[in-house]
Amino acid sequence: MLVNLALGVLAMAISVVVHTFGLIAVTHSISQVTSRVRVHGHRSRIIAMVTTAIGIFGVLFLQVAIWACFYLVLGTVDDLETALYFSAVTFSWATAISSRATNGAFSALWKGLSGS
């Protein structure tokens, strides 16, 4: 059990590092893309948003793939396709739960501030 816990902590640490450097790379690429591609003499906000969305998707997919590799190594699943599916579903579920928790905290704060 301790080995699995240690591997989980390692996977989380790698995921955090990938997320951090991935977002730094996305931010850097946005400025490069928008400075090179100008629409009507202006930096295009649409190009910046598309670049951001694609970059963040790539970073998140890489994190899902890292977890999938850990699931394969641990023998949790039999093949890469199943590992990626399980990892993506788990990642999506965890993201949805944290979003709901954040929404609940903001709602409680808003209710407390408004005195209702």
Average pLDDT, the chain: 85
Residue-wise pLDDT for 20-57, tens only, equals: 999 999 999 888 887 777 666 666 778 888 889 999 99
At 38 the three-state DSSP class reads strand
Burial of 87 (0-12, 13-18, 19+ CB in 10 A): buried
Range list of H helices, the chain: 2-36, 45-74, 80-114
Residue-wise pLDDT for 94-113, tens only, equals: 776 767 777 777 677 777 76
For residue 82, give Cα distances in angstroms to 89, 90, 92. Answer: 10, 12, 15
pTM reported for the whole predicted model:
0.74
Percent of the chain with pLDDT over 90: 44
- Give the pLDDT confidence score for residue 68 in this predicted structure: 94
